Homo-oligomer: A and B are copies of this chain.
Amino acid sequence: MKPKVNLKEKFSLFSAHWTPKIVGELNGQYVKLAKIKGEMVWHSHANEDEMFLIIKGSMTLYFRDGKVDLNEGEMFVVPKGVEHLPVAEQECHVMLFEPKSTAHTGEVESDLTVKELDWI
């Protein structure tokens, strides 16, 4: 079995924004931690639902027809196929749950796209 994961400790190990790190895996899904700040890119994941859980700070998920503001202790599931744009005015710490197959920025490639994620 893998050792337990302390979220604060893991977040202290990296500082780059928009570069999720893998901290766990189960049932074909990865648990990832990300520090986000600023604006990502509009994208969707054709086959994967994606869950955001806010560990620290706040962020907004924009959709083509609305938005949802997420604060610490709140979670949201973006269903597969739904275009979304994550934005954080201040640095925000997020836990992500998504299938291993999920591409970072979906079908979209941008300067932010990370192709190989690291475990920490």
Contact = CB atoms under 8 A, between A and B. Distances in A.
A99 interface: yes
A4 B76 contact: yes
A15 B29 CA distance: 30
Contact of A50 (B26, B49, B78): B26
A77 B25 contact: yes
A7 B48 contact: no
A29 to B, nearest CB: 6
Interface in A44-79: 48-51, 55, 63, 68, 70, 73-79
Interface of A: 1-8, 23-29, 31, 48-51, 55, 63, 68, 70, 73-79, 82, 97-99
Q: Shortest 3 CB-CB distances between A and B: which pairs?
A: A26-B49, A4-B76, A7-B73
